[in-house]
A and B are shown apart, each in its own frame.
Chain A
Amino acid sequence: MRAGGPVRRLAPAVAIVVAAAAAPARAGDVFDAETLDFAARVDLHEWELLPNEHAGRLEIVDTLARRQVRAFYGAASIDGTSPTFSLLEIYFNAGAYLDRPVVRLRDARLQARLRPHMTPEALDRLARTGRVGPVGLLGPAQRGALTAAGRADASAPAWDRLGALREPVRAAAGADRRLARACGRLLGRVEAFLAAEALRLVPPRAPGGPYVADEHLRAILDARGRVPASTAARAERVHEELAALARAWRQRDARSFNELSAGLIARLLEEAPVTRPPRWRRRLERFHNRTYGLTFAWVGFFAAAVLLLAAAAGGGRRRALRAVGMAVFAASTATLAAGVAVRWIISGRGWHLPPLTNQYESVMGVALMAALAGMALELIFRRGAMALVASVVAAVALLCAFFRLGPLQPEIGAPMALLNTSILAWHVSTLMVGYGVIGMSVLVSLAYLSIAAVRRRAPDAPRSAGPDLTARPAGGLLPELDRYNLVLLQLACWLVGIGNILGAYWADRAWGRWWGWDAKETWGLMTFVVYLGVLHARYALPARRRGTWTAALSVFGCAVMGFTWWGVNYVLRGLHSYA
């Protein structure tokens, strides 16, 4: 325990009062009452901030715990304990949970296939919680052998013992592809449950070396005699300290655990003076974790959209509604910008590499860029329309990020070596602005098409933007929407063009050619071609059809952009694909 600020100093006293007032801990679905009682007594505050290496980045244990527990359990913590406690309990005591509902099993068909193997207790838990224990997936004979072997401590290579799982689970899938995918996910969750090596806490002795796990220390001890004596001695010391911690944890001896962990953590931090992130950054990371990376800003964008829509619909309080809507929009944009900035800072990548290196970050990037573009355009047009469509785009994008739809994972990792360049920032951020503007234009287009369909007649539209962009055109709402659409399409066309050119410049530096017909390059070019076509089509079409065709082609262009952004990565094969 370390002395901290006033809040920290008061914490034990508050804890005593709260503990005295609280009822005795009740057993949860996974943890028993004794474990929950232990969770209330153990101090994991410093554990949460301990640096741990993952995917090339030194993240804090709190981040690891949230990701790891979510990976097998489906939520960031178990039975209301903290994520770090949940992880450490599984890490130190996994053998006790082989038959508890810790692995999420969502697929109903796979559930049905696996039911014949399961015990009545496992079936009951599955029905109640949607989760199973790894042992519950085994046949009776395998289950007996495994339970006999058990998992007494974290030192055992657990996956070897549970390797028998693969066969019955895969057999349950048979030749069904979808079931096979579900099986793969299920086995991945079991593997995450057993991934003790994920705790890479032990810092290097030299500044350039990697953080290692307890498994690695054991390998060093096995190789004693072939490694320097000082290395072996340190490995032995740390390994024994971790073993003592594990013993204290399993005996539910909170006082010993707190004392031992305070000593170990202080030494681990002392031994990594160069590589570990500063304490303020680690605390910022914990704040980021607890606030979902500020992605809850989608609520603000949604509220801003509702207010601005109400203002656009008219009524007596039009000005007031718009002012409030704009204020909420601005506040949400600031919150989102802060979230992106926090993510940038805790990633530790440096100024040259903003958080735009994976799909999750690109979705956040589109939300932010759309909001900023909407704000900039709103400063020109001042009618609330640009802020309205930007709010909707940002809200939808952030909703996807908040609920982690599809492959979106908020993990902050070190980018692969080829992406470690500032050109990425220019290339991707330009395209993100472009995609955000395309999202705005498609909303305007849909509104135009809907209104035109209701009125059954579209007014004449000019070939290109008139001399005064900001002047309200005669003829009412549809000409105004058409003008907004034209402005957004022009901006999108320019930004997509620049983004493609920057991509070619980067490819020239990275791959030795500026163009290679990679799937992403091809579809990026096709997106640009669509928007060039839309803008040129206005010169060829008769005045009465310009607005409608522009809106329709804008919707088509958005679909092409969507495929370029997402579809290419997951459907086609190429240098940008994850397929």
Chain B
Amino acid sequence: MAHRAHIAAAGTRAAPPALRAASSLWLGLGLLAAIFIYLAVASVWPPPPGKPPGTPSVLYGLWPLKLLIGLLAANVILANIVRVPTGWAHLGAWLGHAGLILLLCGAAVYVEGHVSGAAVAVRDDDGAFGPVERYFLEDTAAMYVGPDRAGAELLQTPLTDRLAAGADRPLQARVASPFDAVTFVARDYLPSAELRCRWRDDGPADVPAARIRLRDGPHVFRRVLCPSCPFAREFNVGAYVVRFVPPGAGKPPEWLIVKDRPEQDLAVVGRTADGGVSVLVIGGDGRRSEHAAEVGRRLVLTLGGRPVELTVEEFLTRAWRVWSAYAAPDGSRPAAVKLRAAVGEWVGWQWVRWEAFVGPAVRTDPAAQRLPLPDGQWARLHFAPESRPLPVPFRIAQAEYVTYPGSTRARDYVCRLTTSATATAKERTLICRLNRPAVIDGLRVYQGSWSPKPEDPRAISFMVSSRPGIGLVGTGALLIVLALPYAFYVKPLLLRRGKGTRR
């Protein structure tokens, strides 16, 4: 013991005081304690607003933790140089400390260079899964804009850096536009937004609509009926349906042909030439009756076998539905961005809610926002993670939900993937299952969620990631695992045999 202390003292005596202080064990212990306290605080710190519970805190990514780890690494390196003697007896300390440094280097490479995201395969009506060509990067954000028609391409504009700059600065990001003469700008951002929908009558195009009020027993409904808006064509109560026929559509014969659910009563609101209201009721038994009224006057109709008060409050001529947003009080809602569109003198805006993916899976998602444009077109807007093309697209050839014998409980989720033939890769088949990812051109593909029902999935999501620096991490971990027993058990044996330290 005395011999070893002498050697250690001999090593440090030659070093300058600053170096001795920087390499001191007390500093290393202090740094370990600081890291411990920092991690304890970070582990109980609430997740960022709009993120689900269990999401790691932002504290893990901040500079103080990186600084503490960096200082610890420097302290370990200096301690090895200045204080740890050479010789077989001290190989454990050298290996362990080298392992720690390698592990930290690998972690740095990984943090800076890895990609991580998700990809989705959606099954079409024929039951076959469509190709997976893109993946969505974790912890990124982008705005997607495109024409609102099937198969139309969406242009994406990354917003990650702008949003990372902080919510206290106003967002002012130009968003790529696929429409001539239309400019889009992302204006505002709420990390956790409560959205509220309302109708306005100053849209860019002539879009007729009627705002109605219905009192059905104790229930009162206020709705806007807009035949050209797919999400507001009718109001279906269950026992009856209410629709609006705009003036230009003419009354007969369209007035009579719209009843496609014979068992329900149908009330069709029309607008007369003098601005009045005409309501045609077609009962479940086929009887028709027409009622005249005025805007703002109550009309009592028999619908669904009970009296219903119907009031047309106003007619809209340039209707469009906008979403307004305010910060969710409990921070539990997803984020939203306000997108402003300008065409000539007309300026419109829409709040767009955050989505996990953009693609066929969200075709019917109510979060997908639309914005009318002056030329009669509709813009389709998505606020979602940035997407990148996969190096080699793949397709699910077979998806198997494996259960435990005699039960419906999942034992494994197995996908047979076929990669598409491209110039860089031959077509081949890969198996992706839980705990066993498939590797496609350097990217690892992991099983994600099967929704809505795992036994009969319509969409299967995959996690996609790369892992640069994993070799360094693995080597470092292995060195630590070997070094500890060496230091604990081999070193005493060597010391016993008298093969002490030599410098």
A196 CB to closest chain B CB, in angstroms? 18
Looking at B30-38, B220-228, B241-249, B416-424, the stretch in contact with chain A turns out to be B30-38
- Residue numbers in A under 8 Å from B470 (CB-CB): 508, 514
Which 9 A-B residue pairs are closest in the complex by CB-CB distance? A56-B409, A467-B496, A517-B56, A573-B54, A512-B463, A512-B465, A275-B406, A490-B488, A56-B404
Chain A 537-560 residues near chain B, CB threshold 8 A: 537, 539-540
* B349: min CB distance to chain A, Å: 36
Question: Which residues of chain B are within 8 angstroms of A508 by Cβ–Cβ distance?
Answer: 467, 470
> When the two chains form their complex, are residues A510 and B446 in contact, meaning their CB atoms are under 8 A apart?
yes
Q: Which residues of B contact A463 (CB under 8 A)?
A: 1
**Which of B32, B53, B407 meets A529, CB within 8 Å?**
B32
Q: Are A494 and B407 in contact (CB under 8 A)?
A: no
The distance from the CB of A512 to the nearest CB of chain B, in whole angstroms, is: 4
Q: Please report the C-alpha to C-alpha distance between residue A203 and residue B444 in the assembled complex, in whole angstroms.
A: 40
> Given A56-B404, A512-B116, do A417 and B412 touch, yes or no (CB 8 Å)?
yes
B53, B411, B435, B463: the one within 8 Å of A573 (CB):
B53
B493 within 8 Å of A (CB atoms): yes
Per-residue CB contact flags for chain B residues 25-64 toward chain A (1 = under 8 Å, else 0) read 1101100110110011011100100000110110010000
Among candidates A421, A504, A572, residue contacting B435 with C-beta atoms closer than 8 Å: A421
Q: Is A373's CB within 8 Å of the partner chain B?
A: no
The reply to whether A493 and B463 form a contact with Cβ atoms under 8 Å apart is no
Asked whether A536 is an interface residue with its Cβ less than 8 Å from the other chain, the reply is yes
Beyond A420-B434, A512-B465, A573-B54: 16 further Cβ-contacts under 8 Å? Answer: A51-B406, A210-B406, A210-B407, A418-B434, A418-B435, A464-B491, A494-B484, A497-B481, A501-B481, A508-B467, A509-B435, A509-B437, A513-B465, A514-B473, A517-B57, A536-B29
Considering only CB atoms, which chain A residue lies closest to B72 in the complex?
A: A529
Given that A417-B413, A509-B437 are contacting pairs, would A497 and B484 also be in contact in the complex, using a CB cutoff of 8 Å? Answer: yes
**A-chain residues with CB within 8 Å of residue B60 when the two chains form the complex:** 517
Asked if A208 is at the interface of the complex by the 8 Å CB criterion, the answer is: yes
**Contact surface of B with A, Cβ cutoff 8 Å:** 1, 25-26, 28-29, 32-33, 35-36, 39-40, 42-44, 47, 53-54, 56-57, 60, 107, 110, 114, 116, 403-413, 434-437, 444, 446, 463-465, 467, 470, 473, 477, 480-481, 484-485, 487-489, 491-493, 495-496
Cα of A53 to Cα of B408 in the assembled complex, Å: 10
Query: A242 an interface residue at 8 Å Cβ cutoff?
Result: no
Q: Check A526 against B40 for contact (C-beta < 8 Å).
A: yes
Instruction: Please provide the chain A residues from 1 to 54 with a CB less than 8 Å away from any CB of chain B in the complex.
Output: 51, 53
| Nearest CB in chain A: distance from B400 CB, A | 11
- A272-B56 contact in complex given A462-B1, A530-B36, A539-B25, C-beta closer than 8 Å: no
Tell me whether A510 and B435 are in contact (CB under 8 A).
yes
Q: Which residues of A contact B465 (CB under 8 A)?
A: 512-513
Q: In the complex, are the beta carbons of B36 and A529 less than 8 A apart?
A: yes
B410/A417 in contact, CB under 8 A = yes
CB-based contact A540/B437 at 8 Å: no
Q: Specify which of B43, B110, B406, B491 is in contact with A58 (CB 8 Å cutoff).
A: B406
Query: Quick check: B477 and A501 within 8 Å, CB to CB?
Result: yes
Q: How far is the CA of A522 from the CA of B33 in the complex (A)?
A: 14
A-B contact pairs, 17 of them (CB 8 A): A55-B409, A207-B405, A418-B435, A463-B1, A469-B492, A490-B484, A512-B437, A517-B42, A526-B39, A529-B35, A530-B36, A533-B29, A533-B36, A536-B29, A536-B32, A540-B25, A573-B47
Q: Is the CB of A210 within 8 A of B408?
A: yes
The answer to whether the Cβ of A466 comes within 8 Å of any Cβ in the partner chain is yes
- Most B-side CB within 10 Å, residue of A423, A517, A537: A517
- Inter-subunit contact A536/B404 (CB<8 Å): no
Given contacts A417-B434, A573-B54, A577-B54, contact A56 B488 (CB under 8 A): no
- Contact in complex: A525, B39 (CB < 8 Å): yes
A574 within 8 A of B: yes
Taken together as a complex, chains A and B put the C-alpha atoms of A211 and B403 apart, in Å, by 12
User: A516 near B: Cβ within 8 Å?
Assistant: yes
Residues of A within 8 A of B29 (CB): 533, 536-537, 540
Write out, one digit per residue, whether chain A residues 198-210 have a CB within 8 A of any chain B CB (1) or not (0). 0000011001111
Chain A binding surface SS class:
loop
Chain A interfacial positions (CB closer than 8 Å to B): 51, 53, 55-58, 203-204, 207-211, 272, 274-276, 414, 416-418, 420-421, 423, 462-469, 490-491, 493-494, 497-498, 501, 504, 506, 508-519, 522-523, 525-526, 529-530, 532-533, 536-537, 539-540, 572-575, 577
Chain A residues whose C-beta falls within 8 Å of the C-beta of B492 in the assembled complex: 464-469
Give Cα A421 to B464, complex, Å. Answer: 21
Which residues of chain A are near B43, meaning CB under 8 Å?
519, 522-523, 572
User: Complex: how many Å from CA A252 to CA B470?
Assistant: 69
A514–B40 CA distance with the chains assembled, in angstroms: 20
The answer to whether B32 touches A204 (Cβ under 8 A) is no
Partner of B412, one of A58, A275, A420: A420
Residue of A nearest to B474 (CB): A505
Most-contacted residue by chain A among B25, B53, B404 (CB, 10 A): B404
In the bound complex, do residue A210 and residue B403 qualify as a contact, i.e. CB atoms below 8 Å apart? yes
Residues of B near A519 (CB, < 8 A) are 43, 54
Given A417-B413, A523-B43, A540-B29: A512 in contact with B481 (beta carbons within 8 A): no
B47: chain A residues within 8 A (beta carbon): 573
Contacts of B410 in A (CB 8 A): 416-417
The docked-state distance in angstroms from the alpha carbon of A467 to that of B284 is: 97
Q: What is the CA–CA distance of A509 and B408 in the complex, to the nearest angstrom?
A: 25
The smallest beta-carbon distance between A151 and chain B, in angstroms, is 28
Taking CB as reference atom, which chain B residue is nearest A506? B435
Measured between alpha carbons, how far is A510 from B465 in the docked complex, in Å?
A: 12
A residues less than 8 Å from B463 (CB atoms): 511-512
Closest to A519 in B: B43
Q: How far is the CB of B440 from chain A (nearest CB, A)?
A: 13
User: Given the complex of chains A and B, what is the CA–CA distance between A393 and B180 in angstroms?
Assistant: 75
Among B54, B406, B484, contact of A272 (Cβ-Cβ < 8 Å): B406
Cβ contact of A512, chosen from B403, B464, B485, cutoff 8 A: B464
Partner of A423 from the list B44, B412, B435, B496 (CB cut-off 8 Å) is B435
Distance (whole angstroms) from the CB of B124 to the closest CB of chain A: 26
Assess A572 versus B44: contact at CB under 8 Å? Given A420-B412, A469-B492, A530-B36: yes
CB closest chain-B residue, reference A537? B29
Q: How far is the CA of A467 from the CA of B498 in the complex (A)?
A: 10
Decide: A518 near B35, CB < 8 A? Known: A414-B411, A417-B434: no
Partner of B411, one of A51, A275, A420: A420
Cα distance A537–B60 in the bound complex, in angstroms: 26
CA distance A498 to B465 in the complex (A): 24
**Shortest Cβ distance from A266 into chain B, in angstroms?**
18
Contacts of A577 in B (CB 8 A): 54
Q: Residues of A contacting B116 with CB < 8 Å?
A: 512-513
* Nearest-Cβ distance from residue A187 to partner chain B, whole angstroms: 25
State the CA gap A494–B42 with chains docked (Å).
Answer: 25
- The answer to whether B444 and A512 touch across the interface, beta carbons within 8 angstroms, is yes
CB contacts (< 8 Å) of A513 on chain B: these are: 114, 116, 465, 467
Residues of A within 8 A of B40 (CB): 526
